[in-house]
Amino acid sequence: QAGNSIVIHYSNIRGLSSNIISIQQHLEQHKPSLLFLSETKISPPTNSSHFHYPGYILHQNFRLHSGVYCYAKSTLSFSLFSNSSTSNFCFSWFKLSHSNKNTFFAIVYRSPNASIEPNLFEHLTDSIINIYNSHPDAELSLLGDFNVHNIEWLQFSSHTSEQGREAELFAATHNLTQLISEPTRVPDRLGDASHLLDLF
Mean pLDDT for each 10-residue chunk of the chain (200 residues)? 78 90 96 95 80 94 84 96 87 94 95 74 94 95 92 87 93 92 72 76
Contact, 24 vs 50, CB < 8 A?
Answer: no
Question: Helix, strand or coil for residue 45?
Answer: coil
Name every residue whose Cβ is closer than 8 Å to that of residue 163 and which is 6 or more positions away in sequence. 110, 114, 116, 120, 146, 147, 148, 149
Of 81, 108, 109, 79, the closest CA to residue 93 belongs to 81
pLDDT of amino acid 1 = 46
- In this prediction the pTM is 0.89
Q: Measured between alpha carbons, how far is 132 from 103 in angstroms, rounded to an integer? A: 11
